Chains A and B, each alone.
Chain A
Amino acid sequence: SQQGEEDPQALSIQEGENATMNCSYKTSINNLQWYRQNSGRGLVHLILIRSNEREKHSGRLRVTLDTSKKSSSLLITASRAADTASYFCATSNDYKLSFGAGTTVTVRA
C-alpha cells in the first residue's frame, strides 16, 4: 500500500522562484525521506527527517515534518533548471519503505 501521497502532482515554476511540495502519510513513522529522480533514472537521496524533528535544512532544501498532521513539506529555494525532476517522499516503518507517487517539478528558464 502507498503510504505517502505528494501534492501537487506537477509544478511548473520560473527559474529563481521557490518550489514547495507536500507529502501526507497514513500511519506512524520512524522517519521520512525525500528523494529526487531525473527522467527515469535511479533515485537520489536528498534529506532525511526523524519523527522527533520538526525542521531540517540542507543547502537550498528545507524540510518540515508535522507528525500530528501526518504531513511533510519540501521547499526548494531559488530554483534552477537542474532542479527539474520528480520528487518523492518515502516513509519508513520497521524494515519497509513506502514511496508516494511523486511531484514532477519543471523549472523554466
Chain B
Amino acid sequence: EAQVTQNPRYLITVTGKKLTVTCSQNMNHEYMSWYRQDPGLGLRQIYYSMNVEVTDKGDVPEGYKVSRKEKRNFPLILESPSPNQTSLYFCASSLAGSGNEQFFGPGTRLTVL
C-alpha cells in the first residue's frame, strides 16, 4: 500500500532532550516536507527536500534540522526541544515538487514539557 509513515505517533518529552521523528514513504517520491500545525495557524512548512541530499528551509525552520540521505526517509530532528515546539507534525511527499499532489503521513503529536 502506498503510504507515508511517521514514528512515533505520540511523544511527550522534556525541554532540551534531543529527539527525532522519522518519516518514510514507499512511493519513490522525490519531494518530501515537514509541517507543523497549530490551532488557528493552519500548516506551516518547516523544511522541504527536493531530492536526496537537497534540503531547504520552509517558513518556520528555527529549532529544527533535517537530513535526506535516502530517497525514502526524511527525519525531523529537534536537538534541544522547547515548549513552543509542542505541536502536531506532519510529513508529506510528492512525485516532484510542491506543485503536485502531496501525500500526508498520519501526524505526530509532540508535547514538550
Contacts and interface: CB of A to CB of B under 8 A. Distances in A.
Contacts of A43: 43, 90, 92, 102, 104
A67 interface: no
B87 to A, nearest CB: 12
A41 B105 CA distance: 8
B45 interface: yes
A94 B42 contact: no
Given A40-B88, A96-B48, A88 B59 contact: no
Contacts of B43: 43, 88, 90, 99
Contacts of A44: 104
Which range holds the interface residue count of chain A?
20 to 34
B90 A96 contact: no
Nearest to B49: A95
Which range holds the interface residue count of chain B?
20 to 34
Given A33-B101, A92-B98, A95-B31, A42 B42 contact: no
A97 interface: yes
A11 interface: no
Given A41-B107, A99-B44, A101-B40, 14 more contacts: A1-B59, A43-B92, A45-B101, A45-B102, A88-B42, A92-B97, A92-B99, A95-B48, A96-B45, A97-B45, A97-B98, A99-B45, A101-B41, A101-B42
Interface of B: 4, 31, 33, 35, 40-45, 48, 50, 56, 58-59, 88, 90, 92, 97-107, 109
